[in-house]
Structure 1
Amino acid sequence: MTSLPLYGRQGKFTFRLLAIALFGQAIILSFFALVARGNAIAAGRPEDGDRLMWVGLGLSLLALVAAGLMRTPVGITLGWVVQALTWASAALVTAMIGVAIVFTVLWVLLLVQGAKADRIIAERQAPDAV
């Protein structure tokens, strides 16, 4: 297996899969921002709730930007940053560990399988060298 890319353009199939994963992650992150806010307000810390909500929505927006830039070389780098920040957000909301596990595993799986699919498609489209 080759190493996982941190920068550069991905194949057409790969970048589409990764963009879809980041879009789904953005939706989940926005829901978790609202949950974190509600939990903080229920615990009597409304200022913390507002801060948690804006941090979560900012991370969700970053995931959307990364999904939109997935065709460019920096898209994959931003995707990795989103994964790292999702893990870091577990320091603020412990339940984010579950989200981080699911989406990091999905991210790596789509990188590997998408690259395989792109190679197979390229082989089938290449003219026979016989």
Structure 2
Amino acid sequence: MTPLKLYLVRAVYDWAVENGHTPHLIVDASQPGVRVPSSSVQDGKIVLNIAPQAVQVFALDDQSVRFSARFGGKPFNIECPIAAVRAIYARENGQGVAFPENEEPAAPDPQSSAPTTAPRKGPVLRRIK
């Protein structure tokens, strides 16, 4: 199942851009798979301006946010798994969504995956005299 977080990130991004605001991501830079310039990381997090005019080749898919941006005048390819996103908000008014830091995927319910009764083999016919 696709995580709800992905849909919320997309929704806030679209809302901010459509209303002329500047969407920003807060990313946990210590998470596996995060590729950001280490010089811009503060307290293990980085704030990224993801406005269309600030980035190139922006892609938001089911697994990650990827784009190219300049840091200190040098181009850098950014990759942030959706699990590493801690917040998305509009810079102008601060409205957006924050996500819990210790977020873990929900474990499947062990009782729902195992059938409680033995599967039936099929219909049985009997001869009645």
Q: Same fold (TM over 0.5)?
A: no
> Computing the radius of gyration over CA atoms, which structure comes out larger, 1 or 2?
2
Which of the pair is proportionally richer in strand?
Answer: 2
- The structure with higher relative contact order (CA 8 Å, sep 6+) is 1
